[in-house]
Structure 1
Amino acid sequence: MSYNSVQQLRTDFPALRETEQRKPFIFFDGPGGTQMAQQAIDGMLTYITEGMANLHGAFGTSVKTDALLEDGRKAVADLLNCSPREVAFGQNMTSLAFSIARSLGSFISAQDEIVVTELDHRANVDPWVTLARDKGATVKYIPVNPSTYSLELEHLPEIFTEKTKLVAVGLSSNVTGTVTNIAKIISRAKEVNALVVIDAVHAVPHLPIDFKQLGCDVLLCSAYKFFGPHIGISAIASSLFEKLPVYKLAPAPQEIPDKLETGTQNHEAIAGLIGAISFIEQLGEGTTRRERLTSGMERIAAHEQELTNRVEQFLMSITEVKLYRAPADTPKTPTFAFTLENTNAREVTQWFAENYNMCIADGHFYASTMAEKLGVNPMGGWIRIGLAPYNTLEEVELFERGLQEFISTKLRK
């Protein structure tokens, strides 16, 4: 990283600072939302304190807000490698997905098929299942392999047919970390002229993203997963976006990307988003912002991989742990889902919170189809530990010590 050390990087995250009044948390809940970088906080505070306004006015604060939205689109465009006019903001990824699904209703009929997966977060399943139900279309699922925790892509020729009109798939699982072979799915989808929607919410914090190279039609993500505030982001290929009918107010703009942004946007969150992207940019090198962002993401991935190797080897060495992790030859994010024999997941995470001030999540994480298929719900779902660039080897070692202590005191009495 361009920072001299992880410790230096951590100074950009106020939530990590120890004070006399507060012992710092150890944040292993990145998949549920990262901590906010100082650059994002500063962007929000600056916008709020220097004067807020709505759009399209002649006065200075309104002109500044107009420019803010354009700057936000340009920053996202450099992060995802798309055009600024293909970027639209919304309340969150889920709301954007439902809005886009409603807009796509005119393209779907009762004779059509929509394909989703058993691996994904429901935010990239239910909007399209709801669309199919409303239009009388058929829903098909790409199955998840219960042994490899990856999608069974060998079935694509039978699942994708001439009736397939839309395919929705996650780039990376928010539970197992599995990075799906998106290129294979998109290639098959385009053979049958189907639209492709990618949920990249869990992928963007860990992987360089290239919207143009992917060749999908819609990509969705959320800034609070990569060091920013709660705001949803969509990248929609202009060829689709321009003909996409949307539910909107009659006087509102007809042009892209504004036509999807119903009502007044969360301007301070967009200011924070720009700051979060600036944080990533500062980690990288290059002559353009796109180059620096790609380099920054590669450095994040390299740091996280070092910790990933340690966590993976540790969890695999514990006999009481069942680790839900794809094989070594499958790309994965630094996200680990596991269960402990004869133990409810909440008991484990609550113990870590009380004894180690450690933020570890439990549940099905809205990947409820996979949770049901793998039979983890009776145990309270999975225990999930997710790494971020501000996590350290010392924190990982503390997690290891804590889990060994829990097992020795609770399971090996």
Structure 2
Amino acid sequence: MSEYDVAKVRAHFPALESGLAFFDGPGGSQTPDVVGEAVRSTLLGPLSNRGGLTVAQENAERAVLGAREALADLLGATPDGIVWGRSFTQLTMDLSRTMAKEWGPGDEVVVTRLDHDANVRPWVIAAEAAGATVRWVDFDPETAELSMDSLEEAVGERTRLVAVTGASNLLGTRPDLPAVAARAHAVGAWLYVDAVHLTPHASVSLAGSGADFIGCSTYKFLGPHAAVVAGKEELLEQLRPDKLVPATDRVPERFELGTLPYELMAGATTAVDFLADLAPGAATTRRERLEASMAAVEAHEDRLRDRLDDGLRDMSGVTVHSRAAVRTPTVLATFAGRDAEDVSRHLASRGINAPAGSFYAYEPARRIGLGEAGGLRMGLAPYSDDSDVDRLLEALAELG
């Protein structure tokens, strides 16, 4: 594995010059200079709607095609399977409605209590509108592990779709996606994976995960605010979304309403290229470089997470809820006698961004009994370093 140079990485993030320590990556990462410049140059350069007659049209066309290729490399998918949208929530809401056109009474949809609500409520709403039944997969609040026994019970011959997280944005838990896929596909169901919290921390593959659809948000991995869902092209071809009459019926464009955000797509492409070069080595293709870089990022972040875990373990009154054997570098904690919001406010006074709440993870927050105050979520990112972790632990120790 190539050596990971975090100091070199940090030099590309102007936000770090503020002196703040950022542990809010799960809600949105900081942005490297090259990504900001890509957005700026695209907006300020010649730009119009897509075409091939002028440089302005060509710039728009290049932004779209380049972004599809970049996100396909990131997600182990094909460019024509990349659907762009404003957010993962919006894309999932749209796709759930489209899929539900083929559902009816007697059909079943499976969701989990580990997921962010963006991968729960759209399916619940769509199923209810179609008269289909919703079945739930539980997780163990003590271990934070998805229950495979519960999955086995929930998935049956009438299951049309299984929706599961690639990594919990609240607890960091990474379910065994190939095992979930095997269960779903055994009954002919589709698997829809929310990889929003997984993509910034590990190599993701549509084919390797066994998913039929897998989505991410570009602003979670150093890019601008947008999202994509990568789907198998043959399945996207089966779906007939509502669209305007003159809009193209081609895949993936038939799912993308209105003019695409060319500047955001250019920024996302640059973010992928930035990730691909975090661990320079012998790899040649962008996909190979991404796999090497994400392995290096994962090792770096896991080492820092272990350092954080060790420090929290020595503090009295601290309960760490992130306990899964395989998880992202995200740590959720509560504090005896203190609201998480008070702890977050104390950290903010020390120049540390670590938010409190349940973070739209409605079901898992209820399952572990967080209550209205929620928990303190501390998330690491590619630009996090040892001094950040030490600073966080020192500030928490001040609470007594």
Name the SS of the counterpart of 1:196 in structure 2: strand
Q: Is the 8 A contact 2:161 2:191 kept in 1?
A: yes
Q: Distance in 2 between matches of 1:170 and 1:273?
A: 22
Question: Structure 1: which 5+ runs fail to align?
Answer: 18-22, 409-413
- The CA RMSD measured in Å over matched residues stands at 1.3
| Counterpart among 174, 180, 188 of residue 183 in structure 2 | 188
Q: Could you tell me how far 1:156 is from its partner in structure 2?
A: 2.5
Cα distance, 1:92–1:4 mapped onto 2, change above 3 Å: closer
Distance in 1 (alpha carbons) for counterparts of 2:132 and 2:239? 19
Task: Write the distance in 2 (CA, Å) between the matches of 1:67 and 1:392.
Answer: 36
Paired residue for 1:368? Answer: 362
Partner of 1:411: none
Partner of 2:81: 86
Q: Which amino acid aligns with 1:372?
A: R
Q: What is the Cα deviation at residue 5 of structure 1?
A: 2.9
Q: Which amino acid aligns with 1:392?
A: D
2-structure distance, mates of 1:204, 1:384: 18
Measured in 2, the distance between the counterparts of 1:5 and 1:112 equals 51
Separation (CA, whole Å) in 2 of partners of 1:389 and 1:373: 30
1:318 aligned residue (307, 315, 320): 315
**Structure 1 residue 144: deviation in Å?**
1.5
SS in 1 for 2:50: coil
Percent sequence identity over matched residues?
35
**In 1, are the aligned partners of 2:164 and 2:192 still within 8 Å (CA)?**
yes
Distance in 2 (CA, whole Å) between partners of 1:190 and 1:388 is 34
The answer for the alignment partner of 1:111 in structure 2 is 106
Report the equivalent of 1:298: 295
Q: Which residue of 1 aligns with 2:195?
A: 200
Q: Distance in 1 between matches of 2:382 and 2:102?
A: 41
Task: State whether residues 178 and 208 of structure 2, in contact with CA within 8 Å, keep that contact through their aligned partners in structure 1.
Answer: no
What code does the residue aligned with 1:303 have?
H
More displaced, 282-291 or 88-97?
282-291
The TM-score with structure 1 as length reference comes to 0.94
Contact 1:3 1:9 in 2 (8 A): no
Shift of 1:204: 0.2
- The number of aligned residues is 398
Aligned residue for 1:377? 371
TM-score, normalization by structure 2: 0.97
Q: Which whole-Å CA distance do the structure 1 matches of 2:33 and 2:293 have between them?
A: 17
User: 1:70-107: CA deviations, max 9, x gaps?
Assistant: 01101111111111000011111000001101110222
Once residues 84 and 189 of structure 1 are traced to their aligned partners in structure 2, the CA distance between those partners, rounded to angstroms, is: 25
Going from structure 1 to structure 2, the CA distance change for 1:84 and 1:181 (only over 3 Å counts) comes to same
Once the two structures are TM-superposed, the CA of residue 215 in structure 1 deviates from its matched residue by: 2.3
- Of 36, 42, 45, 2:31 maps to 36
Q: 1:1-400 alignment to 2 at 5 Å?
A: 5-17=5-17, 23-56=18-51, 58-284=53-279, 285=281, 286-327=283-324, 330-354=325-349, 356-378=350-372, 380-400=373-393
Once the two structures are TM-superposed, the CA of residue 217 in structure 1 deviates from its matched residue by 1.2
- Going from structure 1 to structure 2, the CA distance change for 1:233 and 1:4 (only over 3 Å counts) comes to closer
Q: Is the 8 A contact 1:41 1:275 kept in 2?
A: no
- Sort the Cα spacing of 1:157 and 1:3 in 2 relative to 1 into closer, same or farther, 3 A: closer
Alignment gaps of 5+ in structure 2: none
- Give how far 1:150 is off: 1.4
